[in-house]
């Protein structure tokens, strides 16, 4: 694969790994660190540490490894396909399904289902266990997720994620009320220093911005629409909890008491908009709320009658 050449005018005083995550198409911070450690990144022709501070006058050469072979096993798991063509597939993921294989979840994932449905027509950029996966949603979050069928589509969609032109809209039910009808949470997110299994608002964390809008108010709860400007792990869940409005059913960031009719948190990826990676035309998709979300709204409406 041809090396990627980057100039660092906009990277003065930044760490090398952070610069790559912001400027190398389809490369996350973790992936950048691995590329640097494996010798696939040269600064002015020489290897450098991931913590190397840039001056803004360097040339960075990045050699991406060839995509790994796909090792996940195809499984005949039903998919709710919302959109599909030769480049992309968008599915409505139910709550309770893990997106890709990981320790403790070797199969039965969305990736296993996609491999069965698409055959070998999935991009390899994401690696052996994440073929086609451009972005993720949590196991206990439902809704729209897009996968790429080839590497060109994957890189195009990853670039849209990075520059915030791939729009994702969620609806959720939170505990508590809002005085205002809309607002923005702009608070950096990183691993919780007290619990590495959780994320938290942490000074010095990665920039995270969530825009919210009240759809309906009920006694003790609010139906909210959230639009992601960034896409950090657990972002909406962390931000809503941070402002004192945790998502109903969220056992990690909200109340520990389970909600009997919910399989996870009451959070659904209801809308998705992106530029088609081949044609450039706008694609805008939506899906209905799941039955358990609607059941929650029915119960809340009864309280107001």
Strand-strand pairing, 142-148 and 267-275: parallel
Question: Which of 211, 226, 136, 229 shows the shortest CA–CA distance to 173?
Answer: 226
CA dihedral 33, 140, 79, 113 (to 10 degrees): 40
Q: What's the angle, vertex CA 208, arms to CA 168 and CA 202, rounded to 5? A: 145
Q: Is the dihedral of CA 234, 158, 166, 272 positive or negative?
A: negative
Q: What is the token pair recorded at 132? A: 């086609």
For residue 93, the cross-strand partners are 143
Complete DSSP assignment for 170-220:
EEEEEES--SSSEEEEE--EEEETTEEEEEEE-TT-B--EEEEEEEEEETT
Question: Is 71 marked active-site?
Answer: no
Over its C-alpha atoms, the chain yields an Rg (Å, rounded) of 20
- Coil/strand/helix, residue 273: strand
| Catalytic residue selected from 138, 163, 192, 250 | 138
Q: What is the token pair recorded at 230? A: 């960034």
CB 63 within 8 A of CB 27: no
For residue 25, the cross-strand partners are none
Name the residues annotated as catalytic.
Answer: 138
């Amino acid at each position: 694969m041809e090396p990627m050449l980057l100039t660092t005018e906009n990277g003065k005083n930044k760490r090398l790994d952070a610069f790559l995550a912001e400027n190398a198409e389809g490369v996350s911070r973790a992936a950048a660190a691995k590329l640097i450690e494996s010798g696939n990144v040269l600064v002015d022709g020489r290897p450098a540490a991931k913590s190397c501070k840039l001056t803004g006058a360097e040339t960075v050469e990045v050699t991406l490894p060839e995509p790994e072979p796909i090792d996940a096993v195809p499984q005949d798991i039903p998919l709710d396909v919302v959109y599909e063509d030769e480049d992309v597939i968008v599915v409505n993921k139910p709550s309770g399904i893990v997106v890709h294989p990981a320790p403790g979840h070797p199969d039965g994932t969305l990736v296993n289902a996609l491999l069965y449905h698409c055959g070998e027509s999935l991009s390899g950029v994401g690696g052996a266990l994440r073929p086609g996966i451009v972005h993720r949603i949590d196991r206990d979050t439902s809704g729209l997720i897009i996968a790429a069928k080839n590497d060109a589509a994957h890189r195009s969609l990853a670039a849209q994620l990075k520059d915030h032109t791939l729009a994702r809209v969620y609806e959720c039910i939170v505990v508590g009320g809002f005085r205002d009808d809309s607002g923005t949470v702009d608070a950096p997110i990183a691993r919780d220093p007290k619990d590495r299994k959780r994320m938290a608002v942490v000074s010095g964390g990665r920039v995270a911005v969530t825009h919210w809008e009240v759809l309906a108010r009920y006694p003790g709860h609010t139906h909210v629409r959230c639009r992601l400007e960034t896409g950090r792990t657990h972002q909406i869940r962390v931000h809503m909890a941070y402002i004192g409005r945790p998502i109903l059913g969220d056992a990690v960031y909200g109340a520990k008491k389970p909600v009997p009719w919910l399989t996870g948190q009451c959070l659904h990826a209801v809308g998705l908009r992106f530029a088609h990676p081949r044609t450039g035309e706008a694609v805008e998709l939506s899906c209905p709320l799941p039955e358990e979300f609607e059941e929650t709204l029915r119960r809340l409406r009864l309280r107001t009658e």
